């Protein structure tokens, strides 16, 4: 049974991530992550975070925390940005070659698509350090584009963040339940 999950709010400290109208990605990441943690704890998972405040945490340290905690899933929360305002939607990334990471990404993407408020850009494999350096199924979610006015209006709204956190938690839980059933004799 999967019980231990590490949530990773991207960026932090001196690294604001993307910035739009004085709003830092690092703050949006922490807000969604905190809401996600609450939902997963309510589902009886043991949940930890790579950061609970506005502090800098290296990519290597994030992966080391996963190993030290023996987390069975690693979920990194981010918000995207681009040079032009056209790109929009959320994307769920997994490490190339990770079959379980791809399965987890699929479950989370399906639940986020059900929201119907933000377009899915699909699941994609990418060799991001936090996905590559962890030793469990890991995903990185770009929750929407800060550079797109429609996405930005949604992702900075705390009630939408709550709905998004709920959808992510339901996708994670679906993955875990199916994994448990597969391990039954």
What integer pLDDT is reported at residue 182 of this predicted model?
Answer: 87
In this predicted structure, the answer to whether residue 184 has a pLDDT above a threshold of 80 is: no
Find the mean pLDDT for residues 172-184. Answer: 92
pLDDT tens for each residue of 14-57: 999 999 999 999 999 999 999 999 999 999 999 999 999 999 99
Report domain extents, the chain: 26-50+67-93+110-178
Is 67 within 8 Å of 24 (Cβ atoms)? no
Give CA separation, 144 vs 8, 66, 75, 79, in Å.
17, 25, 16, 5
Strand partners, 36: none
Q: What is the pLDDT of residues 52-91, one digit of tens each?
A: 999 999 999 999 999 999 999 999 999 999 999 999 999 9
Domain 26-50+67-93+110-178 matching CATH 3.20.20.70: the answer reads no
Decide which of 180 and 166 is more confident.
166
């Amino acid at each position: 049974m999967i019980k231990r999950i590490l949530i990773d709010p991207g960026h932090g400290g001196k690294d604001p991530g993307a910035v739009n109208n004085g709003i830092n990605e690092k703050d949006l990441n922490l807000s969604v992550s905190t809401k996600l943690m609450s939902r997963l704890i309510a589902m009886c998972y043991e949940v930890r975070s790579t950061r609970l405040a506005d502090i800098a945490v290296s990519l290597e340290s994030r992966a080391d925390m996963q190993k030290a905690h023996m987390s069975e899933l690693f979920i990194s929360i981010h918000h995207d940005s681009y040079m032009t305002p056209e790109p929009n939607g959320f994307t769920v990334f997994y490490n190339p070659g990770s079959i379980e990471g791809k399965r987890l990404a699929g479950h989370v993407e399906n639940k986020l698509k059900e929201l119907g408020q933000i377009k899915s850009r699909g699941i994609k494999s990418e060799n991001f350090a936090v996905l590559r350096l962890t030793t469990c199924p890991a995903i990185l979610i770009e929750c929407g584009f800060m550079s797109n006015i429609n996405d930005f209006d949604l992702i900075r709204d705390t009630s939408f963040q709550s709905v998004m956190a709920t959808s992510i938690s339901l996708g994670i839980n679906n993955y875990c339940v199916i994994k448990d059933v597969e391990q039954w004799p």
